[in-house]
Structure formats: C-alpha cells, structure tokens
Amino acid sequence: MSIRKTFKNLFSAVSTLRRKDVCFMRLQLRQSRLLALVLSVLLLLPLIPAMPAKAYSYRENGVDVSVYQGDIDWQMLAANNNLQFVIMRACKLLNPNSDFFVDTKFEENYAGARAIGLKVGVYCYCGADSREGILETTQNYINTIQGKTFDYPVYLDVESDAMTVLPKDELTTYLIEALDMLRDAGFTPGIYANLNWFTNYIDGTAIRNAGYDLWLARYTHNCNSTDYSNTYDVWQYSDRGTYSGMTGTAIDLDVSYVNYQLDGDHGRVPDTDYSPYLPLTAYLLSNENVQPFYADMQTPIPGAAVFPTDACIIREIYQNGWCKFTYPVSGGSKVGFLPLERFLTTKPADFQAIYSPAKVYTHSSAALDNVVGYIGPHDTLYITDEDDEKVRVIYSITGGKKIAWLSKDAWNIALLFLLQNHIHNKAVLRDEQLAYVDIDKDGQADVYDLALLKHLLDGLAIPEEGEVEGSAPSLNPGAGYTPAGMSAAEPQVCGK
C-alpha cells in the first residue's frame, strides 16, 4: 500500500465518522432521561450513611492451624491465598485432669511454613483452673518451643471453661505472671480469647498495660466488616476458611494490624524502590525452565520448575537481589524464590513514564509468539528495552503491573492511529502527545509529513518515486515524556 493510498483511506473515513456522529447524538438524546435519574440519585447520596473510616495503617492476612487441618501443601496454601503469616498450635492442656499434649503436626507445620517464607507465630491451649496449673502449663509450653524462632507472638489460648471458677482479677494476675515467664524465656507473649472472655473473664486492658499483645476471636466471616485495630493486634474473624493446599477441616482466618518483623530473614530485606511496581507479573528472560528455591535461597524445591511461558507474579523484591514470586501449577499456584535478574535487569524507576498512543497487543517473550494482553490507549507504561523489532515494557494492570514485549511495528502503527484520530478531529493533541508527531518542532502535528509516515509504516508503505526527499527523520518512541500532572511514581491503572 502506498502512502498516497494510505491518506486516501484515512480521509475517506471522515464521512463515515460523521454519519456515526449523528447516530451518537441520537443516542445522547435517548440517554437524557437516564441522566436525570442518575442526577436525582446523586442528590440523595448525602442521606446514605457512609462506612466508618478504617483506623489501621497496616494489615497482613494469615491463618491459624493445628493437627485438625491435616497435611498442608504450604507452597500452594501461601500462593493462592495471599498469606503473610501463620499461627500454629504447639501444644495443649485440655482440662485440669488431662495430660499435656504436643500437637503432632507442630514440627511439620513449623518447617513447612518457614521453608516458603511465611511469618510464624504459635499458641498453646491452657485448660488449667489454678495458678499452679497455669504456670506449669506455661513451663511445658516453653519446653516445647525452646530453640525455635517466631515472628508473631507466642500466645496462651485461655477460653477453657475450667478457668471460669477463678475471679476475673485473680485470673488476669495469674495470666500476666505466665506471660512474664514467656517473656523471660526470650519470647514475645500474647493472650488469645474471644470477645466474651476479654469482657467478662479476663481484663484485656490490664494485660495490654503489662505490655502484652491481644489476639481476638470474633467471627463475622468478613475481615472488612469492622475494625479492631484500636484495641487488638490480631483478629481471628472466621472459622470457615477453605484454602487450596489443605486436606483437613476448615481453617481459621486472621488479620494482623501489626507489622511483626521477620525473624532470621536470610537477607529478605525489602527493596522499597520496587514497592510502587508490585505485584509485578513477569516472564522468565531465558528460554529454558528454571528450578525455584525455598526461602533460604539455597535449597532448590524438589521437582519444581518454572517455564518460560509461565505468568509469574513477583510479590516481594529484596535488597540482596532475590525475589519471592508465585508461579502456576495444576490446581493453582505455588511460592518460590529466584534472583530478580531472572525476570528483570533494570529498575522501572530508571525509565520515564509515558502514554500508549493506541491499543497495542503484548507478548510473553521476545519471540512475539504468545499474546498475553494489551496496552490500551493512554495507558501508562515504561519502556525498559527495545531494538528494531521489539519493545519491552512495564504497564499497569488491575491490581499491579506487568512486564511484556510488543512488536515495534505495532508500536509504530499505534503512533499512526494517533495521527489518524487527529486528522478526523476525534482527538485534540495535547502538548505531551504532540511530542510524538511534531518531528520538525514547528508546533504542528506532522500529519502531512510523508517522511514521518514512511518511518511509521516502515516495511509496510513503499513511497513512490519523488515523494520523499532526504532521509527519514529519527523518531524514538522510547524517548517518551512525562504527562502533565503525572509522575513516574503515580501511574494509571487501566491496562488489561
């Protein structure tokens, strides 16, 4: 197709667009009644009570487990359920007449959660009915967990009916004494109870004033239904969780309002420069399968493999150059750890945020053989690499960002569409957009610049003899610009 024919096609579309404009005006008239209805509803909005603002400034998702959850696939559990922590039962004293019992899954659960990098807490159910029984249970608890490290507190679960024989003030005093024992043993202690117990049987305020954490059990089955962050540190909001990776009964669901630091993090200190770009969907840079590692970043996960076509989601990036990510498997996803350079070699912040001029399809690899999405018109993106055939970009998607490749021809044609919209008066070019198409810097869009069109349609349009004089001007889509009112740290979320 010649450039002359390209222009003929562009201008022939004008009459069609005008006919469509008439239809659009008719549609606007039909919608006028609907608009009046919407406006009347908006006037009533101040009469509708708003949800109270959340007081917490931090929140993590977690679960608590015991032998009743059976065998747990920790990689799958953490990957499919956006979990940051787990609190596991270590032991229990069912009642004053029973034997002290160590949970038969405690060691296995502890090793499994640690291996995939979850923060870990622990609890012991105490069914004693006297000071002596409470302190003896606490000492047995210490003996059970001694030598292990915990990120979340070491809790005493105190909802036993046996304890109700003790007066509230007396029981609270005994529990603070037990928590002192746990503190002296080197742990961060806390109390677990439901709202009835914190109200009627123990003094939560006194325990808090003694310097200890509170874990509340109150089931609304919706972690957004209320906010307990002003009074409690962790809230167990449901006992009906059913997560991938479990073979046993339902699981308890929790939220934490406290950022308990990871103990023994093996260098997993977050690199905050990447925070604005996470979670980041990415593909391996190599064409070969890669074996992921456990959280120690030294032990390969047996039998695991990440494929070049796998859409991995990078969840955390660390200062030591590694990242935590999830990768697809049959039935869900799993968690693994790899050096970040397997996915990305340059920080997105090193590039300038620009707009996409039109819809452009994206691919998972430089081979451009697998379409994985698209960038919409005016979506924000970062060009991280390019050559004569392809461009590697980071762009916004729902809930995060994504790294993918796009064809250089497709990118250039997208610039042509920007010109086409301007020709048809469908779009008024802003100053930022003008930078794409004003090659001679005269303040005018070069819509009749045949040399520019030749550049954009390189390989598609063959100019006739005498149409183009001199060499085509240089146009580097990767140079980009920063849109007015927007910075690289404030991208739009509008990609697919």
384-394 average pLDDT score: 88
Region label for 312, one of left (φ > 0), alpha (ψ between -120 and 50) or beta (otherwise): beta
In this structure, of 91-100, 318-327, 356-365, the range with the lowest mean pLDDT score is: 356-365
Residues 414-449 have pLDDT tens digits of 777 766 666 555 556 666 566 656 656 666 665 545
Mean pLDDT of 223-233: 89
* Residue range 63-78, pLDDT digits in tens: 999 999 999 999 998 8
Per-residue pLDDT band at 226 (split at 50, 70, 90): confident
pLDDT of residue 21: 37
Domains of the chain: 60-256 (3.20.20.80), 272-342 (2.30.30), 347-496 (2.30.30.40)
Angstrom distance (rounded) from CA 332 to CA 355: 34
Asked whether the predicted pLDDT for residue 6 surpasses 50, the reply is: no
Query: Looking at residue 256, what is its pLDDT?
Result: 95
pLDDT above 90 for 11: no
Summarize pLDDT for 169-192 with one digit per residue, the tens. 999 999 999 999 999 999 999 999
Residue that wins the pLDDT comparison between 417 and 360: 360
369 pLDDT band, cuts 50/70/90, is confident
* Mean pLDDT on 474-494: 32
Confidence of residue 452 (pLDDT cuts 50, 70, 90): low
Cα–Cα distance measured from residue 426 to residue 422, given in angstroms and rounded to the nearest whole number? 6
Across 7-21, 97-111, 471-485, the highest mean pLDDT is recorded for 97-111
Q: What is the pLDDT of residues 80-118, one digit of tens each?
A: 778 899 999 999 999 999 999 999 999 999 999 999 999
Query: What is the value of pTM for the model shown?
Result: 0.70
Look-up: residue for tokens 């609190």? 87
- What is the structure's pLDDT at 259? 87
Q: Residues 212-240: what's their mean pLDDT?
A: 93
- Split at pLDDT 50, 70, 90, the class of 267 is low
